[in-house]
């Protein structure tokens, strides 16, 4: 279990929001875990890297039906001063002005989607959330508060899917994936050497092997779900063939990186995933 402090995460009012959500979730016997930028920042800070900060908070919420989900939202609104967002039925605005996304998955899903009543976005696909919940959560301690967040391979998985769902609204996801690619080989050196040292038989740099290992770890999460595995490989195939703008949008500094560089990294990620899937 990693121990970190709230200030290091650079997420305003995170402690208060986490306390509110935990209180309501405990009352309703609902499991939840941190995703997106929150989970990414926990990984950075736990490994002595500076947080990139975030102005919103996202949680995956395991619920059996819309009634429980609506009750959870209702308690946050009635008892804790949250307000419904006008453009997204899955988002609440905290009394601190910070957006809170509650992303419901589980038995509430129908044909791979969640549809609820509300304004703006009322239907979402949450491919990968069940798999993350089953096998890719990390328990973290933040100043005595225990919270589960998704692992970094799961962050990459969910960001690939979220970008594919709504590329016009998810411009930050490719940049986050690129940032994780650049940090993963150094942060996860022990994992790479201990479990994947056989990859050094190839003529690859440590940084390239690190991205391939990340692919193996993503593959472990999706391995049991053929539909999900196929979707992830399709997303990567489109990016590698430049049929999507994922590689282009992964460029953080045009002076240091090109589309060709990003395609290379996505190809290595894909190789790792495929090798894990066929083992």
Neighbours of 259 (CB within 10 A): 15
pLDDT at res. 111: 78
Chain segment 126-167, per-residue pLDDT in tens: 999 999 999 999 999 999 999 999 999 999 999 999 999 989
pLDDT at res. 113: 85
Please state, in angstroms and rounded to a whole number, the distance separating the CA atoms of residues 174 and 159: 8
pLDDT above 70 (res 117) = yes
pLDDT, averaged across the chain: 94
What percent of the chain has pLDDT above 70?
99
Handedness of CA 211, 216, 222, 225 (dihedral sign): positive
Q: Give me the mean pLDDT over the 11-33 stretch.
A: 97
Tokens linked to 72: 């959870």
pLDDT at res. 279: 85
pLDDT above 80 (res 120) = no
What dihedral angle (degrees, nearest 10) is formed by the CA atoms of 214, 220, 222, 223? 130
pLDDT at res. 55: 85
Beta bridge partners of 141: 3, 146
pLDDT at res. 122: 81
Least confident of 31-40, 143-152, 164-173: 164-173
State how beta strands 31-34 and 57-62 pair.
antiparallel
Q: Give me the mean pLDDT over the 2-20 stretch.
A: 92
Chain segment 80-111, per-residue pLDDT in tens: 999 999 999 999 999 999 999 999 999 998 87
Confidence of residue 180 (pLDDT cuts 50, 70, 90): very high
Please state, in angstroms and rounded to a whole number, the distance separating the CA atoms of residues 214 and 272: 7
pLDDT above 50 (res 209) = yes
State how beta strands 2-4 and 145-150 pair.
unpaired
pLDDT above 50 (res 1) = no
Q: Which of 211, 198, 217, 249 is CA-nearest to residue 131?
A: 217
Chain segment 215-251, per-residue pLDDT in tens: 999 999 999 999 999 999 999 999 999 999 999 999 9
Q: Give me the mean pLDDT over the 5-19 stretch.
A: 95
Please state, in angstroms and rounded to a whole number, the distance separating the CA atoms of residues 179 and 170: 15
| Four-way CATH pick for 2-150: 3.40.50.410, 3.50.50.60, 1.10.150.120, 3.30.460.10 | 3.30.460.10
Beta bridge partners of 148: 139
Tokens linked to 150: 């998704």
Length of the chain: 279
Confidence of residue 169 (pLDDT cuts 50, 70, 90): confident
Tokens linked to 22: 């935990």
Tokens linked to 142: 């933040």
Q: Give me the mean pLDDT over the 27-38 stretch.
A: 96
Q: What residue ranges do the domains of the chain occupy? A: 2-150, 161-278
pLDDT above 60 (res 2) = no
């Amino acid at each position: 279990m990693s121990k970190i402090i709230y200030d290091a995460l650079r997420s305003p009012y995170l402690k208060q929001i986490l306390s509110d959500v935990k209180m309501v979730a405990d009352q309703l016997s609902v499991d939840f875990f941190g995703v997106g930028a929150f989970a990414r920042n926990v990984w950075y800070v736990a490994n002595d890297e500076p947080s990139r900060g975030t102005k919103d908070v996202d949680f995956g919420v395991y619920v059996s039906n819309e009634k429980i989900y609506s009750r959870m939202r209702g308690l946050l609104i009635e008892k804790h001063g949250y307000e419904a967002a006008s453009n997204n039925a899955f988002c609440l605005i905290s009394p601190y002005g910070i957006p809170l996304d509650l992303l419901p998955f589980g038995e509430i899903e129908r044909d791979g989607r969640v549809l609820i009543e509300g304004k703006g976005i009322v239907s979402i696909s949450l491919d990968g959330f069940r798999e993350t919940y089953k096998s890719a959560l990390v328990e973290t301690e933040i100043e005595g508060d225990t919270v589960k967040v998704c692992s970094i391979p799961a962050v990459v998985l969910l960001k690939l899917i979220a970008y594919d769902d709504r590329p016009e609204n998810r411009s930050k996801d490719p940049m986050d994936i690129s940032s994780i690619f650049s940090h993963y080989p150094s942060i996860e050196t022990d994992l790479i050497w201990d479990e994947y040292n056989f990859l050094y038989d190839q003529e690859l740099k440590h940084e390239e092997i690190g991205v391939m290992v990340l692919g193996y770890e993503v593959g472990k999460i999706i391995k049991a779900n053929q539909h999900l595995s196929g979707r992830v490989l399709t997303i990567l195939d489109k990016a590698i063939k430049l049929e999507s703008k994922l590689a282009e949008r992964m460029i953080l500094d045009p002076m240091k990186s090109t589309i060709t560089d990003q395609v290379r990294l996505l190809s290595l990620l894909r190789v790792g995933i495929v090798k894990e899937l066929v083992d």
